[in-house]
């Protein structure tokens, strides 16, 4: 029969394994979405650069962010 000391050790071991599993899941999630996070940051920086360039050109944005009086010619 299993004694109370052995049960306590098993519970502690299970708790430790659960903590390790949670840490590894977090690391996996961060690694999985690292590319997406980097792409979103690059997009934000590009949007900020476009916004600043439009501001430097004197184009006034509308309330939803797209200038109405600017002809988009590239």
Residues 33-68 pLDDT 10s: 999 999 999 999 998 898 888 888 887 766 565 555
Residue 54 counted as domain residue: no
Residue 74 tokens, joined? 């590239």
What value does the mean pLDDT of the chain take?
A: 85
Residue 51 counted as domain residue: no
Residue 55 counted as domain residue: no
Residue 31 counted as domain residue: yes
Residue 64 counted as domain residue: no
Residue 9 counted as domain residue: yes
pTM > 0.85:
no
Residue 16 counted as domain residue: yes
The whole-angstrom separation of Cα 44 and Cα 38 is 10
Domain that holds residue 8: 4-46
Longest Cα–Cα distance of the chain, Å, equals 83
Domain count, the chain: 1
In the DSSP assignment, the letter for residue 58 is T
């Amino acid at each position: 029969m299993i004694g109370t000391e052995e049960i306590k050790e098993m519970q502690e071991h299970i708790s430790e394994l659960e903590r390790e599993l949670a840490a590894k899941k977090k690391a996996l999630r961060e690694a999985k979405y690292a590319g997406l996070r980097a792409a979103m940051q690059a997009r934000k920086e590009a949007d900020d650069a476009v916004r600043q360039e439009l501001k430097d050109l004197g184009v006034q944005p509308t309330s939803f962010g797209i200038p109405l009086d600017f002809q988009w010619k590239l």
